[in-house]
């Protein structure tokens, strides 16, 4: 039974994410990233049914990928992420994140289903 359950788990993708700010709620973090309020509310509602409700990926005007994720502190980090730097392992994403960080910037590694990351990448290519 355990193997059957594990086989159903989505394959993860790990994304380096640079923190822009931290907030007390996911909604505040999304709004700070300039996600329109109605879209932010829709994203939050959809996340309640998700297997990964602590990490939300979307794009903002101009096609930039952003992610909102729950930090270890319990606050929500509003981050810029890089879909083209998607990794198969947390360690690889950590290495890429260290290369992307400048000065006093902080970062996290976001973990999302690989299918979600591929779909977001394909959508950005089609729009761009």
Cα torsion angle, 107, 48, 66, 28, sign = negative
Who's near 106: CB < 8 A, 6+ residues apart?
Answer: 18, 19
pLDDT given for residue 5 in this prediction? 47
Largest CA distance in the chain: 48
6 domain residue, yes or no: no
**What does the pLDDT read at residue 47?**
82
Structural domain harbouring 81: 11-127
118 in a structural domain: yes
Q: Indicate the number of domains in the chain.
A: 1
> Does residue 109 belong to any structural domain of this protein?
yes
DSSP β-ladder status, 76-81 and 64-70: antiparallel
4 domain-assigned: no
Task: Show the tokens assigned to 27.
Answer: 């909604």
| pLDDT at position 63 | 81
Tokens of 10: 């989505």
pLDDT at 59: 87
- What tens digit of pLDDT does each residue of 11-57 get? 899 999 999 999 999 999 999 999 999 999 998 888 887 655 788 99
| 3 in a structural domain | no
Read off the pLDDT of residues 72-127 as tens digits, 9 standing for 90 and up.
899 999 999 988 899 999 999 999 999 999 999 999 999 988 888 888 887 665 54
**Is residue 95 situated within a structural domain?**
yes
Q: Is the pLDDT of residue 69 over 50?
A: yes
Q: Per-residue confidence at 1, pLDDT binned at 50, 70, 90?
A: very low
pLDDT at 61: 81
Q: Using DSSP, state whether 28 is helix, strand or coil.
A: helix
Dihedral angle at the C-alpha atoms of 27, 31, 36, 39, nearest 10 degrees?
-20
């Amino acid at each position: 039974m355990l193997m059957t359950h594990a086989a159903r788990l989505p394959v993860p993708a790990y994304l380096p994410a640079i923190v822009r700010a931290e907030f007390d709620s996911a909604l505040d973090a999304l709004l700070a990233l300039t996600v329109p309020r109605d879209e932010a509310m829709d994203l939050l509602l959809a996340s309640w049914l998700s297997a990964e409700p602590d990490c939300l990926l979307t794009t903002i005007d101009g096609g930039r990928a952003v992610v909102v994720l729950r930090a270890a502190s319990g606050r929500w980090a509003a981050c810029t992420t890089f879909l083209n730097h998607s990794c198969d392992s947390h360690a690889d994403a950590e290495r890429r994140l260290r290369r992307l960080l400048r000065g006093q910037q902080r970062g996290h590694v976001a973990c999302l289903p690989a299918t979600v990351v591929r779909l977001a990448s394909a959508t950005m290519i089609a729009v761009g």
